[in-house]
Structure 1
Amino acid sequence: MEEKFVGILDNNPHIYTIYPLRLKNNKLHFFKEYQKLKTISKQNQYDLVLDLQGLIKSALVARILSPNCVGFDQHSLREPLASWFYNTSFYIPYEENVILRNLKLTCKALNIELPDIHTKEPFLFSTYKSGITPTLLVITGSSWKSKIYPKEHFVNIINALHVKSFVAWGSEEERNDAQFICEHTNATMLPKMSLNELKAIIKNSQLIIGADSGPTHIAWALGRPSITIFGPTPSARNTVTTPINLTIDCEKAINARDINKHDFCIQHIDPLKIIALAKELLPC
């Protein structure tokens, strides 16, 4: 997997080995990574390789690792050419929920029954021991500016809930937002953390609120109560709602194949709606 995301799956007892790669926006390292993939392939002689990402780049990686690779068919992909690299492909509509799509592909490839995703157990793990136990953990950032919920709205949410709150951040811009939030509330700004540390903090939290981002989705993976705020991305496609994992969005139709990264509709989501959901999830 991409090198900077290895910490997400680290320490999982169900994973034998994680191979970090540097492929994202790094064409200069492609030949070096190609040689690494060829070595991995020779060492392991994989019976089957699944490509769950469904991009040309990931499909090429799967093909290098094994000729017996499986992925989505050309009608199920944003980059249809990726299907050319697969030995076997399956039709699973691109618009379906991402988590269920990946699960369906895995089950079809292995010829096993589809399990009930709502009865899953936590599947992320951390070795970090933390004494920080937030009642509320706020995640400030996301991968696009249009997916970031305004810091002023987070101020309103924290001040309305009156609970022990912490704010997590990753980039310098997120740090500035976190600092603003903490200056206008009684929240505590966390230091910059590794993914191993962040997983531990999320596991210790009673409620996580954040935009459509990896750290917010970790809460669902760990079985922790959460509210995920969606802007220009479709909530129904990007997470699974449960009684403790709620979503709120812009209440507009969004085409999963034609996402507008310049749509800042998230800014218009009323913080009062999030406050109401938070009060349902927080302990009395």
Structure 2
Amino acid sequence: MRILIVKTSSLGDVIHNLPVVSDIRRQFPAATVDWCVEESFAAIPRLHPGVDRIIPVAIRRWRKKLFQSATWREIGACRAALRRGGYDKVIDTQGLVKSAIVARWAKAPLAGYAADAAREPLAARFYDERFSVATDLHAVVRNRQLAAVALAYPLSGEPDYGIAVAGGAFDWLPATPYVVFLTATSRDDKLWPEDNWLALGRQLYELGYCAVLPGGNSVERERANRLAAGIPGAVAAPPMSIPELASLLAGGRAAIGVDTGLTHLAVALKIPTVALYTATDPGLTGVLGSGFFRNLGGKAQLPTAAAVLAELQVALA
């Protein structure tokens, strides 16, 4: 059996889809499982040993250069690669029009959410098989349920993200045990106040842990440097790729993160994780896994540094 999963973006959504691969592998050990994903997130499914081939798309980049011939050559090459897959079933767990269109390029039986369950109901018109999955379930559970009904297997057990990464031996890391602070997110209203990060970092230092603060773009790295300067023993990490960040997380004693994909990656790696929510409800898209994890806060709620430390002390014990 040859199966294609279409989950293109974003980082957290892609991570939420990893348990689907584990489920399929348990049910069909000899199956070929490929994954179509945005090029910028391709490193995530590559972490799962159950994924055979990654077919990258670049919808975000193509949209900006739609009238360039190079863009259409890339689109043609992607369509050809998907058609060559010879898939027995394609499953679009994204539920968007753009993902449904890409999934159709494979020229294979296509399954997806019914209109009452898809994020964009119009996407359901592209599917050969449509399945209603309750919208009040966590995103991880919805992905797993869709794949299970599309491939007719029973769903059971906790989500298994299926990834394991060795802790990296970075020469800039301190010798002391460290906790990763994931301070950056896509929206300012999702940020946790810097005073809270400073207070938490200082308290952890007193307990024998240093804070390591990664940052992606220049604004995020400036924040990381600013916070590290105010926390004894803290380190602002240099620019890192997703695989390097995974190794950093894997070597940490714990992670604290705002509403961002890397916080979900920490949980997927079974690192004790406390997720902080200030503008969104974690009920449907909060961190979820099989190790130690906590979702704190919510819409118009602000977790305190004391509350975070109390949860961390449970995990670090």
Question: 1:274 aligned to 2:303?
Answer: no
TM-score using structure 1 length: 0.87
1:207 aligned partner, one-letter code: A
Question: 1:130 aligned to 2:169?
Answer: yes
SS at match of 1:20: strand
C-alpha RMSD of the superposition: 2.0
Residue 245 (structure 1) aligned to one of 290, 293, 300? 293
Residue 224 (structure 1) aligned to one of 271, 276, 288? 271
Shift of 1:232: 2.4
Maintained 8 Å contact 2:166/2:251: no
Partner of 2:54: 18
Shift of 1:135: 2.7
Q: Aligned equivalents of 2:47 and 2:179: distance in 1?
A: 25
**Per-residue displacement from partner, 1:153-201 (whole Å, max 9, x unpaired)?**
1111111122122111111111111111111102111111011111111
Q: Which moved more, 1:36-45 or 1:223-232?
A: 36-45
Q: Aligned equivalents of 1:241 and 1:200: distance in 2?
A: 18
Q: Which moved more, 1:147-156 or 1:104-113?
A: 147-156
Q: Aligned equivalents of 1:6 and 1:243: distance in 2?
A: 24
SS at match of 2:250: helix
Structure 1's unaligned 5+ residue stretches are 253-264
Distance 1:78 1:37, change over 3 A: same
Q: Aligned equivalents of 2:83 and 2:113: distance in 1?
A: 25
Distance 1:4 1:41, change over 3 A: closer
User: Percent same amino acid at aligned positions?
Assistant: 25
SS at match of 2:203: helix
Q: Aligned equivalents of 2:78 and 2:111: distance in 1?
A: 17
Residue 184 (structure 2) aligned to one of 141, 149, 153? 141
Distance 1:226 1:127, change over 3 A: closer
Partner of 1:176: 222
Q: Aligned equivalents of 1:226 and 1:81: distance in 2?
A: 36
2:131 aligned partner, one-letter code: F
Maintained 8 Å contact 1:10/1:196: no
Structure 2's unaligned 5+ residue stretches are 1-36
Partner of 2:19: none
**Per-residue displacement from partner, 1:217-239 (whole Å, max 9, x unpaired)?**
11111111000111222212113
Q: Which moved more, 1:45-54 or 1:139-148?
A: 139-148
Shift of 1:42: 2.8
SS at match of 1:76: coil
* Equivalence map 1:252-263=2 (5 Å): 252=299
1:146 aligned partner, one-letter code: D
Q: Aligned equivalents of 1:217 and 1:225: distance in 2?
A: 11
Residue 160 (structure 1) aligned to one of 203, 222, 237? 203
Shift of 1:242: 5.3
Maintained 8 Å contact 1:136/1:164: yes
SS at match of 1:19: strand
Distance 1:50 1:135, change over 3 A: same
Q: Aligned equivalents of 1:142 and 1:15: distance in 2?
A: 28
2:83 aligned partner, one-letter code: K
TM-score using structure 2 length: 0.78
Shift of 1:65: 1.4
Q: Aligned equivalents of 1:32 and 1:125: distance in 2?
A: 36
Q: Which has the higher strand share?
A: 2
Residue 77 (structure 1) aligned to one of 97, 109, 118? 118
Distance 1:248 1:11, change over 3 A: closer
Maintained 8 Å contact 2:86/2:108: no
Q: Aligned equivalents of 2:231 and 2:201: distance in 1?
A: 7
Distance 1:101 1:164, change over 3 A: same
Distance 1:9 1:64, change over 3 A: same
